[in-house]
Amino acid sequence: MLSELVTARNGIVVITADHGNCEEMKDKKGNIKTSHTLNAVPFLIVDPNCNGRYVINATQDPDIEEPFAGLTNVAASLCNLLGYEQPPHYRKSLIEFTG
C-alpha cells in the first residue's frame, strides 16, 4: 500500500479531493451529472510520527464569510506540514499545532 511505503520513510500521506460529486451522480430529471458539487470532501492525514504535535481544525475561519473550510485552506495546511509558514495571503491552515 502506498501509505505504508511513504510512512516507512517517515513521510506524511495527505488524502483529499477537489470536489465531491459521487453522491449526486444524476440530476432531478435522471440525467448524468458531471459538474462539481459543493459537498464536503475528505482531508485525511496519515502521520505515524504526529505524536499529538498537531490536530486538524476545520472550524470556520473568522476572516471570511464562507462556512467551514475548503480547498483554499489545503495549500496553507500543506505548507505547515512541510515545516513552512503559510504565505500571508493564504487562508487559514487546517493544521493546528498543539505544542
Torsion angle of alpha carbons 11, 79, 91, 43, nearest 10°? -10
Residue 25 confidence (pLDDT):
82
Over residues 3-50, the pLDDT tens digits come to 999 999 999 999 988 776 677 788 889 898 877 777 777 889 999 999
Region 75-89: what's the mean pLDDT?
A: 92
Residue 20 and residue 93: Cα distance in Å, rounded? Answer: 21
Over residues 57-70, the pLDDT tens digits come to 877 666 666 656 77
H helix count then E strand count, the chain: 2, 4
At 61, the amino acid letter reads: D
* Residue predicted with more confidence, 52 or 62: 52
CB 46, CB 15: distance < 8 Å: yes
pTM of the model: 0.73
Asked if residue 80 has pLDDT above 90, the reply is: yes
Residue 11 confidence (pLDDT):
93
